Amino acid sequence: MAVEITEAEYDALWQQANPVLQQSESVGCVEVRQSVPQQLGQGYIQHLLWHDIDLMLFNIQFYEDIYKTGRNLEETEVVCEFGFNLSGNLCGKRTGESFVEWGLEDNDDEQTSITYANDPILKVDIHLEIGDRAQAIMTETLAALPASTRRRIENRREEFCNINAITPAMRLALEQILHCPFEGMTKQLYLESKCIELIALKIEQIKETGQACRNDYPLNADDIERIYAAKDILITCPEAPPSLMALARQVNLNDYKLKVGFKAVFGTTVFGCLHQHRMETARQLLGQGHLNVKEVAQQVGYASQSRFAAAFRKQFGLNPKAYLVGQRSRSR
């Protein structure tokens, strides 16, 4: 089943569901929370605003697929947005994708966006007012990149995962934001520091990618197709992955081209990709709440529960048992 709805109807449902916004205020910070309309699903969007930063947290599960069409008639402010899609596809942004957008958007054309019910949305956005500092940093960063890299940033529909990927360092900061242990002024300082950390990590990722593009091992379309095939093989059997040599033979590449090409295409090593897949799969399994920590560890290829716990803690900043307990308490 799917729900077809216009932009205006969608906005009206949100306004009806939140006639009086849940709002709290501390020194220099305003916190606003909006609940998902009961007709559509469950969850919330949370705004935290201070200084020139608007931090938005999305935690949404729709009951049915949402097909939304129309024009966004609201005035769009001039902002610089750093977005991180931990889970779910929202407004064309995919699971595991990070991005940067700035300036005004052209809202004249009618657009259709699809949000799937079986893909819960967990997303963090950081909005900054565009001022001299933000513009100077982004302009300087982009100007230093090769023209081909700039085009790929502007057209994110093209596969270029080492620009768009959420890195392990980003993921750790995002999990720390979502599980902030503080309140009041301490919470504000903590979240502000994590926002600045994420902005720095994203800008550095763009800079590093631009440098890598100048030195990449040359790859043709057939090489890239084989590298994608290697990734598919790798994540199909995370509990018993092939060696680098065996994987290279399966896709008819030499091990050096596979190793260097994989880094160029995906922004990580072959087994760095496997590790990220294992950890993300483990997070999803724990989030479903059907398996205990030992069973999840075995499913993603860890014979040792302690090694799995150490890897999970390094990736997400908390123990898998604590994550499992937290997810179960939220679902009650």
- Phi and psi at 21, nearest 5°, equal -70, 140
pLDDT above 70 as % of the chain? 77
Q: Which residue has the higher pLDDT, 40 or 313?
A: 40
d(CA 48, CA 25): 10
pLDDT at residue 157, as a whole number: 39
Amino acid at site 269: T
Confidence of residue 32 (pLDDT cuts 50, 70, 90): very high
| Angle value at C-alpha 246, between 242 and 248, nearest 5 degrees | 115
Winning range, highest mean pLDDT, from 107-121, 141-155, 308-322: 308-322
> Tens digits of per-residue pLDDT, 176-196?
999 998 888 898 899 999 998
List the one residue out of 62, 44, 35 whose CA is nearest residue 118.
Answer: 62
pLDDT at 51 over 60: yes
Please state the rounded mean pLDDT for residues 63-79. 68
Query: In this predicted structure, what is the pLDDT of residue 193?
Result: 92
Q: Which helix (H) or strand (E) holds 79?
A: strand 79-87
The alpha carbon of 299 is separated from its chain's Cα centroid by a whole number of angstroms, namely: 23
Question: How sure is the predictor about 148, in pLDDT bands with cuts at 50, 70 and 90?
Answer: low
Q: Where are the alpha helices (DSSP H) in the chain?
A: 7-17, 132-143, 147-154, 161-164, 168-178, 184-215, 221-236, 244-250, 255-266, 270-288, 293-299, 305-316, 320-331
Rg (CA), the chain: 21
Query: What pLDDT does 91 receive?
Result: 67
Specify the DSSP class assigned to residue 25: E
Core vs surface per residue 79-96: b (16+ CB within 10 A) or e: bbbbbbbbbbbbeebebb
Q: Say whether 122 sits in a helix, a strand or coil.
A: strand
Burial of 105 (0-12, 13-18, 19+ CB in 10 A): exposed
Cα gap 42→46, rounded to integer Å: 13
Q: CA-to-CA distance for 322 and 329, rounded, in angstroms?
A: 11
Distance between the two ends of the chain, CA-based, in angstroms? 26
pTM of the prediction?
0.64
Q: What is the pLDDT of residues 233-289, one digit of tens each?
A: 988 887 788 889 999 999 999 988 888 888 777 767 888 888 888 888 888 888 888
- Domains plus CATH for the chain? 2-215 (no CATH), 221-331 (1.10.10.60)
Q: What is the mean pLDDT of residues 26-34?
A: 84
Nearest by Cα to 253 from 279, 282, 231, 275: 231
Percent of residues, the chain, with pLDDT higher than 90: 23
Task: For CA atoms 151, 153, 157, 163, give the dihedral sign.
Answer: positive
Place 67 in a pLDDT band, splitting at 50, 70 and 90.
confident
**Confidence at 136, pLDDT banded by 50, 70, 90:** low
pLDDT higher than threshold 60 for residue 74: no
Q: Which residue has the higher pLDDT, 318 or 172?
A: 172
> What is the structure's pLDDT at 78?
53
